[in-house]
């Protein structure tokens, strides 16, 4: 792995660029229950109809899609497994590591406001594969959101925060998936728990590409970026009905990097979920095109080094 890193620094060729995919998923929907994939009717989703990914997706499927990209490690994020048996997903992902050496770490599912949260976090903290947890907090629409939003299960819910407070003592970080208008709550969370790294998923979901939508996204992203214990994964920015749009995504990628700095950003595929819209190669081709004029050190940080640091990879 270090050889590829040094080779890229020496030559700067995209073909040599080692990639740590900081956000991807594996599913086995025949053997296990994922409510959003197994149940019908399907749920509303930002990419529209996602029936095309309601299938088993394992390491051999991922490898077939990487094309010429040099994926050296991946981080598997919980796939909204049956919440009644959250810990079983960790055992499933662990079983895949026996035959897939690139699977380097995972983020487990934990419902921070549930009675079993303390025991589950303790279990995750002792597991060599798990680095953090994800629990999508309660959110609301942009139109209904108010500055005092504090619904049960939200980032301001005292019970939810009690669970969050246990992350540091178990050596775990938190993965946040929430739309950008909820980032003021995330900033409070980061300030109140400075010993917990908070990793924002999917670029804080800038789905509204209108000037007003992007302005709101930038302002709230900048508010959150003031907190030093926050990192940003640049992913999940496909646009339904379009091949991965370099021109439309360029402003999102460059603004995100400008706001958070190169040192706190990492690229990721969100595969197979983004396969609803684009191929895995298109996603990484797009990222490479947008940052092609940046230094080799910066490109290596965005595609490789930062993810290795955030997820404590060896």
Share of the chain above pLDDT 90, in %: 96
Sign of the CA dihedral with 122 first, then 231, 73, and 35 last: positive
pLDDT at 17: 96
CATH code of the domain containing 211: 3.20.20.140
Q: How confident is the model at residue 12 (pLDDT cuts 50, 70, 90)?
A: confident
For 51, the domain range is: 2-310
- What confidence tens digit (pLDDT) does each residue in 161-182 have? 999 999 999 999 999 999 999 9
- HEC secondary structure over the chain: CHHHHHHHHHHCCHHHCEEEEEEECCECCCCCCCHHHHCCCCCCCCCCCCHHHCCCECHHHHHHHCCCCEEEEEEEECCCCCHHHHHHHHHHHHHHCCCCCCEEEEEEECCCCCCCHHHHHHHHHHCCCEEEEECCCCCCCCCCCCCCCCCCCCCCCHHHHHHHCCCHHHCCEEEECCCHHHHHHHHHHHHHCCCCCEEECHHHCCCCCCHHHHHHHHHHHHHHHCCCCEEEEECCCCCCCCCCCHHHHHHHHHHHHHHHCHHHEEECCCECHHHHCCCHHHHHHHHHHHCCCCCHHHHHHHHHHHHHHHCCCC
Q: Which of 3-17, 51-65, 269-283, 299-313 has the lowest mean pLDDT?
A: 3-17
What is the model's pLDDT at position 15? 87
Q: Is the pLDDT of residue 57 over 80?
A: yes
State the pLDDT at residue 143: 96
Count the Cβ atoms, other than its own, within 10 Å of residue 276. 18
Q: Is the pLDDT of residue 259 over 80?
A: yes
Q: Could you report how far apart the first and last alpha carbons of the chain are, in Å?
A: 10
Domain count, the chain: 1
What are the pLDDT digits (tens) for 112-163? Answer: 999 999 999 999 999 999 999 999 999 999 999 999 999 999 999 999 999 9
Average pLDDT for 276-290? 97
* pLDDT above 70: percentage of residues in the chain: 99
- The predicted structure's pLDDT at residue 1: 60
- pLDDT value, residue 13: 86
pTM for the full predicted model: 0.96
């Amino acid at each position: 792995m270090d050889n590829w890193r040094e080779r890229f620094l020496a030559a700067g060729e995209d073909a040599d660029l080692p990639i740590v995919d900081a956000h991807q998923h594996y599913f086995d929907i025949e053997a296990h229950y994922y409510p959003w994939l197994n149940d019908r009717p399907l749920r509303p989703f930002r990419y529209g109809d996602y029936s095309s990914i309601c299938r088993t997706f394992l390491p051999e499927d991922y490898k077939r899609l990487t094309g010429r990209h040099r994926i050296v490690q991946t981080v598997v994020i919980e796939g909204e497994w049956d919440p009644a048996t959250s810990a079983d997903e960790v055992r499933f992902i662990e079983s895949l590591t026996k035959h897939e050496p690139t699977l380097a770490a995972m983020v487990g599912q934990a419902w921070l406001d549930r009675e079993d949260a303390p025991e589950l976090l303790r279990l995750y903290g002792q597991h060599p594969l798990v680095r953090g947890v994800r629990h999508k907090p309660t959110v609301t629409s942009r139109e209904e959101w108010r500055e005092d939003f504090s619904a049960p299960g939200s980032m301001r819910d005292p019970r939810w925060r009690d669970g969050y407070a246990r992350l540091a003592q178990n050596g775990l970080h938190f993965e946040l998936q929430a739309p950008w208008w909820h980032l003021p709550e995330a900033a409070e969370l980061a300030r109140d728990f400075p010993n917990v790294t908070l990793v924002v998923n999917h670029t804080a979901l800038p789905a509204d590409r209108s000037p007003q939508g992007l302005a709101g996204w930038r302002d709230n992203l900048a508010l959150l970026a003031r907190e030093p214990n926050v990192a940003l994964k640049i992913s999940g920015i496909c646009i339904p009905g379009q091949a991965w749009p370099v021109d439309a995504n360029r402003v999102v990628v460059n603004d995100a990097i400008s706001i958070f700095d190169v040192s706190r950003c990492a690229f990721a595929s969100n595969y197979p979920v983004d396969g609803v819209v684009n191929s895995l190669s298109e996603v990484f081709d797009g990222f490479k095109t947008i940052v092609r004029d940046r230094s080799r050190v910066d490109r290596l940080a965005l595609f490789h080094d930062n993810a290795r640091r955030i997820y404590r990879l060896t």
